[in-house]
Amino acid sequence: MGKIVWLASYPKSGNTWVRAFLHNYILQPETPHSINSLVEFSVAECAAAFFHAPGESLSTEQVQALRPQVHERLTRLHPDLVFVKTHNANLEMHGVPLCTPAHTAGALYIVRDPRDVALSYAAYTGKSVDEMIAFMENPGAANASDDAQVFERLSSWSEHVRSWVASPRRLLTRYEDLLAEPERYFARIIRFLGTGEVEAKRLARAIEFSSFGQLAAQEADQGYNAASLNGKFFRQGKSGQWRERLTPAQAERIAAAHGEVMRQLGYV
């Protein structure tokens, strides 16, 4: 068994929130851990610096050929488990797994209602909601490489979920449950990671330090290096916004494309 615990999600599903919680719980800082220092403890698998020198350009085949080597190097970042953020689906591309099984200890998969994801992801990327709905239906959907990162293969929202649900040694956590009952579901994450008995005061403090209000305040005060050019990264942090902001036709299109998986997760 490997050392990587994948912090996996489709984009805009709560991955950064969970990373912030883990940093505050495990490191136990005196003040809320900086959102711009998350890489000190958990890293983003897609960071270009792991794959090539600045200014170098690689094809998707070249990136995939390097992924097992990159993941092996990531296991050396810490003596114990290594937390690695990914938005990749747990699939293969060019015959190479996007998340190398040999280096995997387990996965924490965060999922969110795709109707809210469509709204949040559209705002983050600057795309229209209809464009984002179409993107989330596309089995070939990917985020392209740029100077900061190599490509991420997302596939469709449904296939992304299926790929991670089928993986061994994984814990699935719904964004909505973290919002509704944070003490229960964040404690569940800690127990899954096997880092010892959950300490109530430590848990409450970590939840407070990683609350949406705290994260948004940090972004307003310090900026956030993962924010887009289209506005804030931490926008509202609520669930069910789709009821007021999607048209009936948009909501129906998402349900038609992803209804089977949405039913399995309790979203419809």
Q: What is the DSSP letter of 149?
A: B
Mean local confidence (pLDDT), 221-237: 61
pLDDT interval class at 220 (50, 70, 90): confident
47-51, 80-84, 224-228: which has the minimum mean pLDDT? Answer: 224-228
How large is the average pLDDT for residues 40-45? 89
pLDDT surpassing 60 at residue 229: no
Mean pLDDT for 46-52 is 96
The whole-number average pLDDT for the span 191-196 is: 85
**Could you tell me if 110 and 8 are in contact, meaning their C-beta atoms sit under 8 angstroms apart?**
yes
Mean per-residue pLDDT, 10-25 = 94
**What burial letters (b/e) apply to 170-195, b meaning 16+ CB within 10 Å?**
beebbbbbbbeebeebbbbbbebbee
- Residue 52 CA to residue 66 CA, distance in Å, equals 9
Structure tokens at 184: 């229960």
pLDDT at 1 over 90: no
Contact 150, 48 (CB under 8 A): yes
Alpha-carbon distance values, 17 to 14, 24, 85, 171, 198 (Å) = 5, 11, 12, 16, 19
Top pLDDT among 205 and 223 is at 205
Residue 119 has pLDDT above 90, yes or no: yes
Q: What per-residue confidence (pLDDT) applies to 216?
A: 78
Q: How many CB atoms lie within 10 A of CB 23?
A: 24
pLDDT of residue 155 exceeding 60, the answer is yes
Domain segments of the chain: what residues? 4-113+140-234
Does residue 182 have a pLDDT over 70? yes
Question: Which tokens in the block code for residue 265?
Answer: 């997760």
Q: Is the pLDDT of residue 123 over 70?
A: yes
Residue 265, pLDDT score: 98
Does the structural domain 4-113+140-234 have CATH classification 3.40.50.920? no
Average pLDDT of the residues of the chain? 92
Average pLDDT for residues 204-210, to the nearest whole number? 95
